[in-house]
Structure 1
Amino acid sequence: EQVSTMPPEPFYWMTGICGVMAMARLPKAIKLHLLQKHLKGRDLEFISIAELQKYIKDTPDDMWLGSGFLWENRHAQRVFEILKRDWTSIVGRESTVKKVVRKIQGKKKELPIGQPWIHGVEPKEEKLMQPLKHTEGHSLIVGTTGSGKTRMFDILISQAILRGEAVIIIDPKGDKEMRDNARRACEAMGQPERFVSFHPAFPEESVRIDPLRNFTRVTEIASRLAALIPSEAGADPFKSFGWQALNNIAQGLVITHDRPNLTKLRRFLEGGAAGLVIKAVQAYSERVMPDWEAEAAAYLEKVKNGSREKIAFALMKFYYDIIQPEHPNSDLEGLLSMFQHDQTHFSKMVANLLPIMNMLTSGELGPLLSPDSSDLSDERQITDSAKIINNAQVAYLGLDSLTDNMVGSAMGSIFLSDLTAVAGDRYNYGVNNRPVNIFVDEAAEVINDPFIQLLNKGRGAKLRLFVATQTFADFAARLGSKDKALQVLGNINNTFALRIVDGETQEYIADNLPKTRLKYVMRTQGQNSDGKEPIMHGGNQGERLMEEEADLFPAQLLGMLPNLEYIAKISGGTIVKGRLPILTQ
């Protein structure tokens, strides 16, 4: 039955023409639909360790950074256009169907964290990969609380473990999920023995680790601990005196063939060095004068049955009279000089040092940080940073800073100082083994001068550092100088910025991204009239396409990023916008 009395051929022709026109416009319509769809946001994604293993197997020389795209001028232009409008008109309001379903389920409308349209300005995503060679320049991850720094660490740590590399994690908060994810990655490799955990809140489950075991020169030990002494002036006499006292004791212990540790250093600082002086003089005399006992008998006879201090003074006199003229030793003489120092003045000068030594040796921390290998009753594993690196182990070092911030900060700083010493050895003597990955969460709590050296020299020692913080002001507050904070930032080549609420940090990130040119239309209109002939008047209206310089990624957008989304400058200037999944079992 015909709908119209007119012949059908014109309808066929018009249908065909309209179909061709529709097909011609269809690709652009689909592109616009996808763009509008993704402006509303994407669903949160999850990834398993097995999937991560597949990425590593497919691209062994790259590090996977989630999904995303290269951020270019067109994305900045789209953001510029969106910011000129009402966001709800772009993102869209809640549909009627979703609203009805939500009310039936009795749920309240949830306010999303961040603006999903920022990532949605590009509908096409791809896997973001960074060559591992580029990570040798170290990486900074900055973001406010809850923005996804720790979850990003999970992804990066698991990849390093699955590559079979050594991993050291310094976590002031003691995040249980981060620790468990690292352990699961080792188990996925079939190597659960690679994982070791240190946490002062769980001493029975913790390994024992000696942060003073690795040193090339004995003076390094004093430098590590003296760096923890609070100081405002550059040439602080208390800090210098503390360093000298620590060095004298450490040198004395080495002379007696005894390895220095925190407990021994504290013992001789607090209890006096008489016992160490006796052992040091005896050990050195035996080395340079086999019949020293006969020579020293006359000196010791005068203090027979005397106190330990009197015996120490007698042996000191024996050294200066008999040993020093032929076999002087400046290290031993430093210890003897300290022993002669006025005890009251000595106590005042080390008043800033003793609390630090007490922090690191009190309670359960004593055997944890000063392990005694001869104690057969303690079956907990003993390790150190060199052993962790050489055996490609995965060490989780939880500092429990939420419970005791001062002790946690001191532990983190001394661990970093130890790593710096190991890095120095690797740098000086060359390394042919696999790289080492060091992850420092909440880095502002533990950063110190040795850590800056680690950033500076780490690349030559094949150390990759991943540093996380909330604001750059945290670095300045910790180091006591904005210049030193900038020195830290200047040694880091890759920057990942998650959601940031601090204005100064936002500006720093935006200023370090390249500028771009944005287009906009300037509309003008006007009218005029002739003074002599008021009835004669005219008008004009015009449009001009203008350009202006602007940030490639506006600073204010950094405060609007959803959780697990970031903007990054990597590999010497590549700008990427990415989002991360959550790592699951």
Structure 2
Amino acid sequence: MSNRYVIEALLRPAVELNTAVVSGMAAYVCVQAPWAVALAPSVSYVTAAGFAALAVTRTHQGMKIIRYRRNLRRLPRYVMSTKQIPVSHRRLFLGRGFRWTQKHTQRLQDTLRPEVARYLQPNRFYLGARQLEMMTEHRLPWLGKLLSADTPLNPVRPLPPVGGNPALHGIEPDEKDVTLALGERVGHTVVYGTTRVGKTRLAELLVTQDIRRGEVTIVFDPKGDADLMKRVWAEAHRAGRGDELYIFHLGWPEISARYNAVGRFGRVSEVASRVAGQLSGEGNSAAFREFAWRFVNIIARSPGRPG
């Protein structure tokens, strides 16, 4: 089908392959049996070359349709080791993506049409494999492992547990590396996403680049993700900045940087004030707070009395 028009039609059968097959057969006939199409041998090779060129062109167009439909179901594997993360003093690497335009909005809207659901949902072979995997979990565990093997040789391998909607990335098969100028980081950046869709992985990617760039990096993690803390620790030591790393965690004082709030003071009474200041001074609690202050003050003064 022609690509000259504004409205695309990508969620459809790859009819270009039909033309490619016919053109390929015609090229074969022109070379092997030119008499069957009433062509002279001197002309048959030129005609065969034309049919072959048409077959290659239509095959490329048909594979583009098939690739687009495949991306809507399963995104291509994209993995990157720590050493492969690019570090620049001008740009910040964010991952792979594309610039969202009107055509991507139209493509995403097309995926919501009920008549194209068969191009988005897993086929019956995939569903049958998942059902067979559940049935053979205890009887034939080796068969379940074979069906769930994450390898390109397994045509019914499970979808990756990344969550989200693969169509958001699949609508653009040609993704590129996305970077951000470091000068744009002076403003605030917010990342939205539901549970287990990669927000922490993105944070690790940004933290890794900041640490390797030699910048002062402060990470606040209210959730207390152990994987994020391990990643920060590993990247700091990998960059040779292990001595500059400080971890503050109330739940793990043995690895946390600690500060003695009453270790330094100008007056002895400041010790009692800092400790008793944590108590409520309203209502009946005022009496207990006053008692705590006097009791702590006496203890704080005791070591200095003999000397």
Deviation at 1:79, TM superposition (A): 0.9
Counterpart of 2:228 in structure 1 is 178
Percentage of matched positions with identical amino acids: 24
Deviation at 1:134, TM superposition (A): 0.7
Unaligned runs of 5+ in 2: 1-31, 134-141, 149-156, 293-307
Deviation at 1:190, TM superposition (A): 1.6
Counterpart of 1:507 in structure 2 is none
Counterpart of 2:97 in structure 1 is 68
1:78 aligns with 2:111: no
**1:86-110 superposed Cα distances (whole Å, 9 cap, x missing partner):** 4542236347599669757325785
Counterpart amino acid of residue 219 in structure 2? I
- Equivalent pairs counted in the alignment come to 234
Note the 1:317-356 alignment, pairs <5 A: 347-348=282-283
Q: Structure 1 residues 6, 25: CA separation in 2 closer, same or farther (over 3 Å shift)?
A: closer
Deviation at 1:132, TM superposition (A): 1.2
Comparing both structures, which one devotes a greater share of its residues to strand?
1
Unaligned runs of 5+ in 1: 214-252, 272-345, 359-585
Note the 1:73-112 alignment, pairs <5 A: 73-86=102-115, 88-91=117-120, 93-94=122-123, 96=125, 105-106=143-144, 107=147
Q: For 1:120 and 1:23, how far apart are their aligned partners in 2?
A: 25
Q: Structure 1 residues 258, 30: CA separation in 2 closer, same or farther (over 3 Å shift)?
A: farther
**1:520-550 superposed Cα distances (whole Å, 9 cap, x missing partner):** xxxxxxxxxxxxxxxxxxxxxxxxxxxxxxx
1:156 aligns with 2:185: no
Q: What SS does structure 1 have at the residue aligned with 2:71? A: helix
The higher-RCO structure (CA 8 Å, 6+ apart) is 1
Q: What SS does structure 1 have at the residue aligned with 2:190? A: strand
Q: For 1:212 and 1:73, how far apart are their aligned partners in 2?
A: 62
Counterpart of 1:524 in structure 2 is none
| Paired residues of 2:98 and 2:175 also in contact (CA < 8 A) | yes
Counterpart of 1:133 in structure 2 is 183
| Paired residues of 2:262 and 2:274 also in contact (CA < 8 A) | no
1:266 aligns with 2:266: no
Counterpart of 2:254 in structure 1 is 204
Q: For 2:187 and 2:124, how far apart are their aligned partners in 1?
A: 47
Q: Structure 1 residues 199, 87: CA separation in 2 closer, same or farther (over 3 Å shift)?
A: farther
Q: For 1:29 and 1:259, how far apart are their aligned partners in 2?
A: 83
Note the 1:427-446 alignment, pairs <5 A: none
Counterpart amino acid of residue 18 in structure 1? F
Q: Structure 1 residues 157, 98: CA separation in 2 closer, same or farther (over 3 Å shift)?
A: same
Q: For 2:283 and 2:270, how far apart are their aligned partners in 1?
A: 24
Deviation at 1:211, TM superposition (A): 8.5
CA RMSD of aligned residues (A): 4.0
Note the 1:445-460 alignment, pairs <5 A: none
Aligned with 1:32 (options 65, 85, 92)? 65
1:21 aligns with 2:71: no
| Paired residues of 2:236 and 2:242 also in contact (CA < 8 A) | yes
**1:497-528 superposed Cα distances (whole Å, 9 cap, x missing partner):** xxxxxxxxxxxxxxxxxxxxxxxxxxxxxxxx
What's the TM-score, normalizing by structure 2? Answer: 0.62
Deviation at 1:184, TM superposition (A): 0.6
Deviation at 1:41, TM superposition (A): 2.2
Deviation at 1:137, TM superposition (A): 0.3
Q: Structure 1 residues 7, 164: CA separation in 2 closer, same or farther (over 3 Å shift)?
A: same
1:45 aligns with 2:95: no
Q: Structure 1 residues 48, 210: CA separation in 2 closer, same or farther (over 3 Å shift)?
A: farther
Deviation at 1:144, TM superposition (A): 2.5
| Paired residues of 1:65 and 1:128 also in contact (CA < 8 A) | yes
Q: What SS does structure 2 have at the residue aligned with 1:60? A: coil
Note the 1:139-538 alignment, pairs <5 A: 139-209=189-259, 256=266, 264-267=273-276, 347-348=282-283
**1:425-482 superposed Cα distances (whole Å, 9 cap, x missing partner):** xxxxxxxxxxxxxxxxxxxxxxxxxxxxxxxxxxxxxxxxxxxxxxxxxxxxxxxxxx
| Paired residues of 1:49 and 1:188 also in contact (CA < 8 A) | no
Q: For 2:71 and 2:207, how far apart are their aligned partners in 1?
A: 30
Q: For 2:275 and 2:242, how far apart are their aligned partners in 1?
A: 36
| Paired residues of 1:40 and 1:116 also in contact (CA < 8 A) | yes
> In terms of mean alpha carbon deviation, does 86-95 or 152-161 score higher?
86-95
Q: For 2:201 and 2:36, how far apart are their aligned partners in 1?
A: 70
Deviation at 1:196, TM superposition (A): 1.5
Q: What SS does structure 1 have at the residue aligned with 2:254? A: helix
